[in-house]
């Protein structure tokens, strides 16, 4: 087994580091306080090819492998998870899914715009009453001649107010459970589609998170992506890779926590010497370090499976579970190193802890990941 990065992967990683240092990190606190990332960041991400990683070049993508994608996602998460979320959703959940499931017309229409940053995508699955139980969603799409008419609402949608296209999941028949769900590519400016920004979040404050309400939204039958009734399978395939992206972002949070803790411990003096010299502070830092390295290797192993065409869904759940919980531990330990200063937003670790906490909730809670892993190991479904 060779864990050494290729020259191309190292170059992509360095490109992401330089971008974060120049265009993300200096503004992260301001964006967090104002609850608004500067939208011009999208075009910058597109220009560097970060919104087209793993998408075929014939559709405007920048190619590359999934490990390179994880490296970029980690660096973005290290700088500001709100920016990382733009890429994870618009590319990871939407563009990649169109590339995998869309027909030729859908690919030609949406992928060049999404990969360049000329358009942003959002993933319309979660509803006010359905989170973990996505198969029970209630948004309806009724066939009316050459069109579908959609009614319903979606909640906690990342990129929701920025999006130009919604990868929307709706029930197209009365078959109970997930078998009645279909996927649609709905233009965000479609008449009857309204969006409301969700404010007051604990973390990811700069991220554009929205509630979507659809009232008699009419789309042509060509907006249907994949066969009717296959929407749940499409959503789950997207989320499996999405969990790899979330895990990589969590590695970035944990690495940022380690960087901050080590830097502060070397500067802060108590009892006549830097606190880095005290064993209990070293214990906190070493615990963060172990979490970073373990989470990183779990995440890289998923990327390796994807790139080799192997089954990766259980590994993705394992990586997402560990990395998200590790990011919370890492940020919490870093805050302990900072003491009282960690509790104010002049220093980075409070934001890291707030941003890390949601990682154990979205794209499948930690409890759902445990059910998925347990089912894979035992062959017995918990649902």
Give the active site residues. Answer: 363
Contact by Cβ (8 Å): 98, 185: yes
* C-alpha–C-alpha distance, residues 173 and 145, integer Å: 16
Q: Determine the Cα–Cα distance for residues 87 and 159; give it in Å rounded to an integer.
A: 10
* 123: nearest Cα among 151, 176, 87: 87
29: Cα within 13 Å, side-chain hemisphere: 8
DSSP 5: P
Instruction: Please tell me the distance from the alpha carbon of residue 188 to that of residue 40, in angstroms, as a whole number.
Output: 19
Coil, strand, or helix at residue 142? strand
- What whole-number distance in Å separates Cα of residue 348 and Cα of residue 352? 6
CB-based burial label for 375 (10 Å; 0-12, 13-18, 19+): middle
**Residue 127: helix, strand or coil by DSSP?**
strand
Whole-angstrom distance, CA of residue 82 vs CA of residue 77 = 8
Q: Of 149, 134, 147, 143, give the one whose Cα is nearest residue 173.
A: 143
As a whole number of Å, the end-to-end CA separation of the chain is 37
CA–CA distances in Å: residue 264 to residues 24, 80, 145: 21, 19, 65
Quick one: CA torsion of 212, 217, 218, 219, rounded to 10 degrees?
Answer: 0
Residue pair 204/157 in contact by the 8 Å Cβ criterion: no
How many whole angstroms separate alpha carbon 154 and alpha carbon 122?
11
């Amino acid at each position: 087994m060779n864990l050494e990065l290729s020259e191309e992967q190292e170059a992509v990683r360095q490109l992401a580091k330089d971008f974060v240092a120049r265009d993300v990190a200096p503004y992260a606190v301001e964006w967090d306080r104002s609850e608004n990332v500067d939208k011009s960041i999208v075009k910058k991400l597109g220009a560097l090819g970060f919104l087209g990683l793993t998408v075929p070049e014939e559709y405007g993508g920048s190619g590359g492998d999934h490990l390179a994608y994880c490296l970029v996602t980690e660096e973005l998460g290290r700088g500001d998870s709100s920016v990382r979320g733009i890429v994870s959703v618009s590319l990871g959940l939407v563009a990649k899914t169109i590339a995998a499931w869309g027909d030729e017309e859908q690919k030609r229409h949406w992928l060049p715009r999404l990969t360049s940053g000329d358009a942003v995508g959002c993933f319309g699955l979660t509803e006010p009453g359905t989170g973990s139980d996505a198969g029970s969603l209630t948004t309806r799409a009724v066939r009316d001649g050459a069109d579908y008419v959609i009614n319903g609402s979606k909640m906690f949608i990342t990129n929701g107010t920025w999006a130009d296209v919604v990868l929307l999941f709706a029930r197209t028949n009365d078959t109970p459970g997930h078998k009645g769900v279909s996927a649609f590519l709905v233009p965000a400016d479609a008449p009857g589609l309204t969006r409301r920004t969700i404010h007051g979040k604990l973390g990811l404050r700069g991220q554009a998170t929205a509630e979507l309400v659809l009232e008699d939204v009419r789309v042509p039958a060509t907006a249907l992506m994949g066969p009717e009734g296959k929407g749940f399978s499409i959503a789950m395939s997207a989320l499996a890779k999405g969990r790899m992206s979330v895990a990589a972002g969590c590695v970035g949070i944990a690495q940022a926590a380690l960087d901050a803790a080590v830097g502060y411990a070397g500067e802060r003096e108590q009892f006549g010497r830097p606190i880095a010299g005290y064993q209990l502070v070293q214990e906190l830092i070493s615990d963060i370090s172990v979490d970073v390295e373990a989470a990183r290797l779990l995440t890289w192993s998923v990327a390796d499976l994807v790139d080799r065409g192997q089954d990766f869904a259980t590994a993705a759940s394992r990586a997402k579970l560990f990395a998200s919980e590790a990011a919370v531990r890492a940020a919490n330990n870093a805050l302990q190193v900072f003491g009282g200063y960690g509790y104010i937003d002049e220093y980075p670790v409070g934001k890291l802890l707030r941003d890390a906490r949601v990682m154990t909730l979205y794209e499948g809670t930690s409890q759902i990941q445990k059910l998925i892993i347990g089912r894979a190991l035992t062959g017995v479904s918990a649902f």
